[in-house]
Amino acid sequence: MRRDMFRALEAGIVGWLLVQAVRFVYAMIYARASSADLVQRVANTASLSGVPGVVERATVQGEILVLIVVLLLPLLALIIHRWEISIPFAVLLVALGRALALQTADLQVPGASLVVGAGLLYLALIIVRRSAFFPSMLLLGFAADQLVRALDNTYDHTWQSDYTLVLSRDLNAEIEIGTLMPLIAIGLIIFTILVWWTEYSARRAERELEGYAPPLNGSMNLWGGLALGAVLFLEFTLLGLPNVVARWSETDYTGIVPWLLAATLLPLVPEVRDQARRFAGMFDGAWRGWLWALLLAFLLVVGRRFDGIPAGIALVVAQFLVGLTLWWLVHLEITRRNATGLMVIVGVIGFAALAVGDYFTYDYAYVRDLTEPYQNVGDFLRSFRNMGLGLALVAALILSIPMILARRRIPWRGGKGMYTFVGLALVLAVSFAGASVAVDNIVRRPSNPDCLRVATFNIHGGYSQFFDLNLERVAQLTELNGADILMLQEVEAGRMSSYSVDQVLWLARRLDMEAVFYPQNEALQGLAVLSRVPIADMIGVELPSEGNQAAFMHVTLDPERLVADPLAGQVGDLHLYNAWLGFRVVARDGQPIPEGEQDQNIQLQTMLNWIAALHSPAWTDRIILGGTFNFGPDSPLYAALDAPAILDPFAGLQANRTMTVYLVDGTAARYDYLWTFNVPLTSAGIDNSPEAANASDHRSVTIGIARREGVSCAP
């Protein structure tokens, strides 16, 4: 039992490092490739010296080449799987890569890529040599990743060497990640050597016994490899992230964390697997796999199409079913040629194909038209619009294929009672830890509710202009500008391209504010409002869009709850409209687009009609309309809002003082606005500080308002 526990612990640590590295490498390659693409468009690259995130094209190409090479490491399993020291060798490479990634910025991507390749090599060797621990590696790895991210509200800081982890505030005990992770890597190497020696000694003693028969090797066939890719896709993009499950089902993140941790780990409990075997045995083998696929698909549909606790429960159960499916991916057999290493690479290719599809479900509108003979590729990639659930269902079918084909075996088995006891204890302990660290924040109310500051900020998907992660800069700028109400555009809630961080949740808890989120693309990209003023209600509306999906959200605030004002009942709510409109398109399919058919025109008119339906004919409500509108003051659309009662705080200023978006070619424009209606204005400003320039390709726009007429506020 002690040896099995050691093997499971080793597999779990390597699985955790692999999961972390996959998330990190995916986001880093995306960010650095995007940065290199922008750098090529800058006329004078010398002006980029010291700008965060700037990467040369040759650097990215080298990093991608390194990644491709290390992804072939699982092929080594075809040769070394019979070596006694093969598993410690793979662990050594994992630990080496994890330590290297923290040394310098230049080694981050190569080091993390080595962790991915070596982790996949370890996965292949585990399937062959210790197949019983293959599910443990992935399930413990994803559970550890969930727990680490819950420590800082979905943000994994373990790739930042200068980040300080506070171990105990009472004892003032803390340690830098640059010290902690190399210590973990060294400890893993030592622990692996001890496990290997214990295992080697036991195996040598067993060989001396009469009637000794070598254990069967595990193997993975083609369908198992494809199913592995589908499992990884569902885990990395949806079920392995409590914040994504919470966004899909529109439930509370804090409540989801412990339940998803329990669902991830429960398949490791022998008695749970034994009950699953009995349940599966009730069905004919010819239909068992199909019923499993239908059940999983049903749960995914419920989790996406419905809201609230039932949808959250459906996705948690889906995570449990996916975890149980891992036992069907591996076979025990006697074979001279074991192709598991090759099948692991097949799984990687399958995962990559699904991940590319997931990427274009969000960025379909930015696909460029290609020349012949690839002219149809652009249309194909754009067709992934609204296909998030469809890709998840495809993955559910693929991962069920091994069960569909295996009609005469059920690989789930029970085990000793002590193993069940230890497994249940682990589930309870980890779930309790997750519930403890994922607790909600306390909202800090405005210091002066009579005088509020409102800001709008397009945070560029969590990146600076050249794709350096900008969340901490956004938080610091918000604090510096003293915003009590913050409207965000292009904010993401768990995409792999943004490190799987829920930016709304993280910023709200970092700033001690309430938050509401409305997804305009799938479930993880859209608009958000953060507020120190109590939020009474939120409604989101999608706008007609041929290109990237436009939307706006109507948030009702209740500042009167914060004051003892005898006139509060006569004032009413503060209505906030946060919008992102599409871009103006010159031509489509080679034909110019008439003004009346432009997305922007239709979207703005739809939004104004919606606002009018709520507030007319009296027009006495307090209204603030803001966001990214993607047109300038010289546009006819701006004139549609130029009414006497609607105030643009920056109207009449010189154009160079009102720019809010800066492009890499040196041009600038005013695309971000804050209009007020029936709201006393006290101040206005656009943050053009160097700190703001390194936070996003947009600038934050801030205004000061009085709660009502007659309230005095300092300018």
- Both tokens of residue 256? 């989801």
- Say yes or no to pLDDT of 635 above 80: yes
At residue 172, φ and ψ (nearest 5 deg) are 55, 40
Distances (CA, A) of 105 to 80, 112, 472, 534: 33, 11, 18, 42
Look at residue 95 in the predicted model and tell me its pLDDT.
Answer: 94
Which residues, at least 6 apart from 2, have a Cβ–Cβ distance to it below 8 Å?
none
* 98 neighbors 119 (Cβ within 8 angstroms): no
Look at residue 41 in the predicted model and tell me its pLDDT.
Answer: 87
- Say yes or no to pLDDT of 715 above 70: no
- Choose the CATH number for 451-706 among 3.40.50.2000, 3.30.530.20, 3.40.50.300, 3.60.10.10: 3.60.10.10
Question: Which one of 178-182, 376-380, 481-485, 704-708 scores highest in mean pLDDT?
Answer: 481-485
Binning the chain into helix, strand and coil, the percentages to the nearest 5 are: 55, 15, 30
pLDDT-derived band of residue 599, with 50, 70 and 90 as boundaries? confident
Question: Which pTM was predicted?
Answer: 0.94
Lowest mean pLDDT among 13-22, 128-137, 333-342, 669-678: 333-342
Look at residue 592 in the predicted model and tell me its pLDDT.
Answer: 73
Q: What is the mean pLDDT of residues 640-644?
A: 73
Q: What is the mean pLDDT of residues 364-393?
A: 85
Query: Which runs of E-coded beta strand occur in 402-497?
Result: 451-458, 485-492
- Choose the CATH number for 219-361+387-440 among 1.25.40, 1.20.81, 1.20.1250, 1.10.260: 1.20.1250
Torsion angle defined by CA atoms of residues 261, 264, 266 and 268, in that order, rounded to the nearest 10 degrees: -130
- Determine if the peptide bond prior to 214 is cis (ω within 30°): no
- Say yes or no to pLDDT of 330 above 70: yes
Torsion angle defined by CA atoms of residues 562, 568, 572 and 576, in that order, rounded to the nearest 10 degrees: -30
The count of other CB atoms within 10 Å of the CB of residue 556 is 16
- Say yes or no to pLDDT of 445 above 80: yes
Look at residue 675 in the predicted model and tell me its pLDDT.
Answer: 94
Domain boundaries, the chain: 1-40+53-215, 219-361+387-440, 451-706
- Say yes or no to pLDDT of 332 above 80: yes
Q: What is the mean pLDDT of residues 300-309?
A: 94
Question: What's the CA angle centered on 30, arms 495 and 234, to 5 degrees?
Answer: 35
Lowest mean pLDDT among 52-66, 189-203, 486-500, 622-636: 189-203
- Say yes or no to pLDDT of 646 above 90: no
User: Hey, which residues does 10 pair with through a beta bridge?
Assistant: none
At residue 676, φ and ψ (nearest 5 deg) are -120, 150
DSSP code of residue 134: H
Q: What is the pLDDT of residues 93-119, one digit of tens each?
A: 999 999 999 888 889 999 999 999 999
CB environment 240-257: b (16+ within 10 A), e (fewer): bbbbbbbbbbebebbbbb
- Say yes or no to pLDDT of 308 above 90: yes
Quick check: do 219-361+387-440 and 451-706 share a fold? no
Chain center to CA of 325: 24
Look at residue 264 in the predicted model and tell me its pLDDT.
Answer: 97
The count of other CB atoms within 10 Å of the CB of residue 54 is 21
Based on DSSP, count helices (H) and strands (E) in the chain, helices before strands: 23, 20
Look at residue 472 in the predicted model and tell me its pLDDT.
Answer: 92
Q: What is the pLDDT of residues 130-146, one digit of tens each?
A: 889 999 999 999 999 99
Q: What is the pLDDT of residues 166-205, one digit of tens each?
A: 766 666 678 888 888 889 999 999 989 988 888 777 777 7
- Say yes or no to pLDDT of 429 above 90: yes
- Both tokens of residue 129? 């040599």
Look at residue 167 in the predicted model and tell me its pLDDT.
Answer: 66
Q: What is the pLDDT of residues 254-285, one digit of tens each?
A: 999 999 999 999 999 999 999 999 998 899 88
Arithmetic mean of pLDDT over the chain: 90
Query: How do beta strands 646-647 and 672-677 pair?
Result: antiparallel
